[in-house]
Chain A
Amino acid sequence: GESVGLHLPTLSVQEGDNSIINCAYSNSASDYFIWYKQESGKGPQFIIDIRSNMDKRQGQRVTVLLNKTVKHLSLQIAATQPGDSAVYFCAEKQGSGGYNKLIFGAGTRLAVHP
Chain B
Amino acid sequence: EPEVTQTPSHQVTQMGQEVILRCVPISNHLYFYWYRQILGQKVEFLVSFYNNEISEKSEIFDDQFSVERPDGSNFTLKIRSTKLEDSAMYFCASERTDTQYFGPGTRLTVL
Say yes or no for A43: interface residue by CB 8 A criterion. Answer: yes
Contact indicator B44/A95 (Cβ below 8 Å): no
In residues 42-91 of chain B, which contact A (Cβ within 8 Å)?
Answer: 42-45, 48, 50, 55-56, 91
Say yes or no for A89: interface residue by CB 8 A criterion. Answer: yes
Q: Select B99's contact among A34, A43, A105, beta carbons within 8 Å.
A: A34
A42-B104, A43-B103, A44-B91 given as contacts; is B42 within 8 A of A98 (CB)?
A: no
Q: How many B residues face the partner with a CB closer than 8 A?
A: 25
List B contacts of A49 (CB < 8 A).
Answer: 98-99
Chain B at the A interface: mostly helix, strand, loop or mixed? strand
Contact indicator B99/A103 (Cβ below 8 Å): no
Say yes or no for A102: interface residue by CB 8 A criterion. Answer: yes
Q: How many A residues face the partner with a CB closer than 8 A?
A: 25
List B contacts of A97 (CB < 8 A).
Answer: 50, 55
Alpha-carbon distance A36/B100, docked complex (angstroms): 10
In residues 21-67 of chain A, which contact B (Cβ within 8 Å)?
Answer: 32, 34, 36, 41-46, 49
* 21 residue pairs bridging A and B, Cβ less than 8 Å apart: A34-B100, A41-B105, A42-B104, A43-B4, A43-B91, A43-B102, A43-B103, A44-B43, A44-B91, A44-B102, A46-B100, A49-B99, A99-B50, A99-B56, A101-B48, A102-B35, A102-B43, A102-B45, A102-B93, A104-B43, A106-B41
Known: A44-B43, A95-B48, A99-B56. 16 other contacts (CB 8 A): A34-B99, A43-B4, A43-B102, A43-B103, A43-B104, A89-B43, A99-B31, A99-B55, A101-B48, A102-B33, A102-B43, A102-B93, A104-B42, A105-B42, A106-B41, A106-B42
